[in-house]
Structure 1
């Protein structure tokens, strides 16, 4: 298979029912590799920030932008690039994003100043947006309808495990090499992914489909989308990093208000379009809207737990870094086990029911962690982590399956972009909520951590309610 004269199987038209083996396995390998690199790089440098700040003569508040630049670059272009995928082809957007991500990794590896590194990381984020904006749409083309649940389960598994694997991978690399090697890792894997993707990723027909014109693409809408998410992200960062200071909090709330106000104008501008950049046409579907609400709430709960658990285990329960890392590993291991099972249950049971049960289990695990007794044994911590991981895995794959399949095939890119947008929005919200909690309870004596985990459980319950409401809601 080549890009010059692709075989008919590489051109799934609307109604085409996926690829056959072994093409399906090869194409899915491209998706797994690209998504792993994109999600892993959102957290892989966290552990190296003190060393980067010292080597590049920067303060901690400046060094945090090595992380923020990547996250913001990915967030602001997810929906525009998803729209480009609907218009020009998901395969093309994915491969251009993967190429930019790989080239930007070279720039990050060779950076000699902090702001050069921040610029390279922003470009990495733009490349990651190309990967994440259309990956679910490509999965929909790769898998037959009857097996799509398994494809979405693989997608969910990769996102969940890569999100938690960043610190562990970074620790392994930093134990034998400098921080530059965190980015060097992307070069061989990125080049291989681009090469294999050119051979194996399917095309999608984007023009000439009866009843559907090419999606409208306006640079004004792109500018509004970028500005809205930038204001919201920087406002959240102000509250998160400087939330304890009145000046920082005031600026944070001002930026958030400006972002929300601009968002209202932006959405009203999109409201009557047939294929809007911000997919309000999909959000009018109750099933899609409830699924998005579930996703934002679930990822908010997940981020609250991820950020508070290290404090709980290290400072409250006195565990070492190695012990805490091993205990937390029970969470992603449970995801690895349960996600494939969840994928096989899709189609047999209602997605909303599976998601509701998953969030109920997740909430129970979070409450059990919030009420973790003093001097808890390792087993007491592990079973609580397993509940959290198993519940989240049971929720995520069916929820993502609903988000993708409730959209018409010609709007798969928009639905795929909303998956990443929901994840990053929920994670940003969780970080802001935790910052507010620690602005009030900053002693790390267990009280703030318990409150954070109880709020995470409440957010999981909200996600479960939204998910269960879909069972009797028509698309």
Structure 2
């Protein structure tokens, strides 16, 4: 056991009744945080019109939320190991709910951006310890099922987000997109306060300078990737990325020898953990590449309408939602390396098949390919999350949970930036190149996943 980590609480999950209520609180909050990005994207034109903002300025409504979230994931995950994951989760949910009301009451773009930063901090509090809490809510024999339910909620929220946003905007103004979080946030808070488990606490203190360095590192790196995607000048992009790397170097020097470093380099000494994290980044990079490039591919290359494009995009997250709990149950019985390798192989083949569609394909020809991609991604996601979380010691669940969320957002951002680079390189034909690049990432992830079959899980020394 690593120095500075308190002994595990003598429990293997919660009693069935309490577990169901605790899961309801966790999944309600994670669905709110997941829905929010999709809802905000749909609302951007209405917000720009109402607040007299330009399209270039209003995009920051999405950007500041993502940057605030990514920058604070690891510090909040580390804080959860010290004060208890349930406290960070409930505080994040409270801040997210209050900030949602502030977004609804915003009277100008600057006030909305400030509220969105606070909402991003609240979302980070939810997401940073989400998977750590699931590890303590479900017994070991049901962990795969628990992570599968989590993936199901996220995928369903992502699928329904645009529909829910469009429905609200058809009968109300954009502030209601944020105000609707209030009743759900209050209900989840009340349930969570009574049912969420009290988790183990580490004996070391929170490193505030380290938290600033971690936030600066990830925030600047994500900002640099986003700047490159939006064709900022080379000087700005290089400056942001170099500054982020400098913050990361200073963080590693400061926390060398720390029993639970904020950037959990110690966990990457575990081969299964390192391979699972790298595989997650690859898979979410595939998703980022696909979700940015496919709308252009369908409309500009296959000459389909916007309505048809929306229809073609729906099967991916919908099938993920169906496959995630199935894969979760299988991961309680079979090797995660094999299951994830199979899923990424399916995802890679689906990407290749999409990139090589004939000039005038039928609807069925397009749909079954996107179904294959969604099935592969859904088959990968839950077993990989279980492998990553289970390979870390219980006392380091916060750091592992932070890496789960960071890997997802880093992969998605990188994929989106690479898709933008492909478009900048060869115009609309870059959509095909982006799909091919996604297939390459899936192949690399598949190989890394299969390597886990031969690697023994060893305890952290």
TM-score normalised by length of structure 1 = 0.92
- Residue in 1 that maps onto 2:440: 458
Aligned to 1:151: 146
For residue 151 of structure 1, report the CA deviation from its aligned partner.
0.2
* 1:67-216 → structure 2 map (5 Å cutoff): 67-206=62-201, 213-216=202-205
Aligned counterparts, 1:313-332, within 5 A: 313-332=298-317
Listed as ranges, the matches of 1:263-282 within 5 Å are: 263-282=248-267
Task: Evaluate the alpha carbon distance shift between residue 280 and residue 125 of structure 1 in structure 2; reply closer, same or farther with a 3 A threshold.
Answer: same
Structure 1 Cα separation of the partners of residues 50 and 305 of structure 2: 26
**Which among 336, 341, 344 is matched to residue 329 of structure 2?**
344
What do residues 395-428 of structure 1 show as CA deviations (whole Å, max 9, x unaligned)? 1101100111111111111111111010111111
Alpha-carbon contact 1:217-1:277 (below 8 Å) kept: no
Kindly indicate whether the alpha-carbon contact (under 8 Å) linking 1:31 and 1:135 is maintained by their aligned counterparts in 2: yes
How many Å separate the matches in 2 of 1:293 and 1:161?
Answer: 25
Q: Verify the 8 A CA contact 1:271 1:280 in the aligned structure 2.
A: no
Say whether the 8 Å CA contact 1:215–1:276 is kept in structure 2: no
Pairwise CA distance, 1:131: 0.4
Q: Return the alpha-carbon distance in structure 2 between the equivalents of residues 54 and 249 of structure 1.
A: 31
Instruction: Output the CA distance in 1 between the equivalents of 2:312 and 2:205.
Output: 49
Find the counterpart in structure 2 of residue 258 from structure 1: 243
Distance 1:255 1:336 in 2: 36
Question: Partners in 2 of 1:452 and 1:161 — Cα distance?
Answer: 25
Distance of 2:370 and 2:204 partners within structure 1: 43
Listed as ranges, the gaps of 5+ residues in structure 2 are 1-6
1:404-460 CA-partner distances (Å, limit 9, x unpaired):
111111111111111101011111111211121111122x2xx21110001011111
**Residue deviations 1:171-226 (CA, integer Å, cap 9, x gap):** 222222221111012111111111111111111132xxxxxx52442111011011
The 5 A counterparts of 1:211-290 are: 213-243=202-232, 248-290=233-275
Residue 468 in 1 paired to residue 453 in 2? no
Q: Distance in 1 between matches of 2:330 and 2:373?
A: 19
**Runs of 4+, deviation exceeding 3 Å:** none
Q: Deviations over 1:211-258 (max 9, x none)?
A: xx5244211101101111221122112111125xxxx23311221122
Distance 1:117 1:370, change over 3 A: same
The answer for the alignment partner of 1:300 in structure 2 is 285
Distance 2:305 2:166 in 1: 14
Cα distance per residue 1:148-170 (max 9 Å; x no partner): 11001111222233234332322
Residues 159, 318 of structure 2: 8 Å contact kept: no
Instruction: Give the deviation of 1:15 after TM superposition.
Output: 4.1
Partner secondary structure for residue 204 of structure 1: coil
Which one of 362, 367, 390 corresponds to residue 347 of structure 2?
362
Gaps in structure 1 of 5+ consecutive residues: 1-11, 207-212
Give the match's secondary structure for 2:16: coil
What secondary structure, in the 3-state scheme, does the structure 1 residue paired with 2:171 have?
A: coil
Counterpart of 2:30? Answer: 35
Checking the alignment, whether the CA contact within 8 Å between 2:143 and 2:332 is kept in structure 1 is no
Contact preservation (8 Å) 1:331, 1:388? yes
TM-aligned CA distance change 1:396 to 1:332, over 3 Å: same
Question: CA–CA distance in 2 between the matches of 1:263 and 1:357?
Answer: 34
How many residue pairs were aligned? Answer: 451
CA offsets per residue over residues 10-66 of structure 1, 9 Å max, x none?
Answer: xx9534111122211111111111101111112211122122112212112211110
Shift of 1:142: 0.7
Q: Distance in 2 between matches of 1:216 and 1:366?
A: 46
Matched residue, 1:6: none
Q: Matched residues in 2 for 1:110 and 1:349: separation?
A: 50
What's the TM-score, normalizing by structure 2? 0.95
Q: Is 1:45 paired with 2:40? A: yes
- Cα RMSD between the aligned structures? 1.5
